[in-house]
Homo-oligomer: A and B are copies of this chain.
Amino acid sequence: MAGYVSDAVIRRLPGYYRYLQELEESGEKQISSQELGKRMGLTASQIRQDINCFGGFGRQGYGYEISKLKEHIGEILGIYKDHKMIIIGAGNIGQAVANYANFPKEGFDVIGVFDNNPNKVGQKIGGMTIRELSTLGDFLDQKKVDIGVLAVPAKDAQSLTNLLVEKGIKGIWNFAPKDIKTPEEVASVNVHLSDSLQVLSFKMTYDKEDDK
């Protein structure tokens, strides 16, 4: 359906989904681009442009049917598909992701957790037994895994990425404080929590000098 979709648009899609879900839960049936824009802090124009990257889901003179638009955007995001995930690194972040309650109901299903620390291997987190990292290759040979979550130190990020890619992973969600390189056909998203905290730190300093 969609042709080229810019990164700027892609990054806004989950926000649309969240706001539409909230509206749906509050019992609303319909919304105009103007009203949605007011709530989200976007212009009505931008919302219509964004949505029309994927086709005309609205109705002139009426607006958008909330549940239908939400459904469409969920579909576009691919969140109704079944995603098999594994987590590599059972440290703070690996554990948080393993236990994160929001995923399963949306089709993101953790089927394995790996670590190379002997004290952790065999322990359970989020109902899963932590496996020895050296068994990762075999695991990937045997099971279909869609998403690899990298929650390891920076120095291990690229070599593990290479292994995942070699074994046919489709996407990598990278929490290591290091940018990873994947071939074009393997999607990746970097989270970089520490970067995000530094951005906050910057804004705390510089906002004061802002004069607009």
Residues on A lying within 8 angstroms of B by beta carbon are 2, 4-5, 10-11, 13-15, 17-18, 40-41, 76-79, 81, 83, 92-93, 95-97, 99-103, 108, 146-147, 170-173, 177-179, 184-185, 187-189, 191-210, 212
CA distance A152 to B196 in the complex (A): 18
- Residues of B near A79 (CB, < 8 A) are 198, 201
Q: How far is the CA of A207 from the CA of B184 in the complex (A)?
A: 8
Closest 8 CB pairs of A and B: A14-B195, A187-B203, A92-B96, A96-B96, A78-B201, A14-B198, A78-B205, A189-B200
B18 and A77 contact, CB distance less than 8 A = no
Indicate which residue in B83, B189, B193, B203 contacts A171 across the interface (CB closer than 8 Å).
Answer: B203
Cβ of A177: which chain B residues have Cβ within 8 Å of it?
Answer: 18, 102
C-alpha gap A200/B191 in the complex (Å): 11
User: Within the assembled complex, what's the spacing in Å between the Cα atoms of A194 and B101?
Assistant: 11
Q: Determine if B146 and A81 form an interchain contact, defined as CB atoms under 8 angstroms apart.
A: no
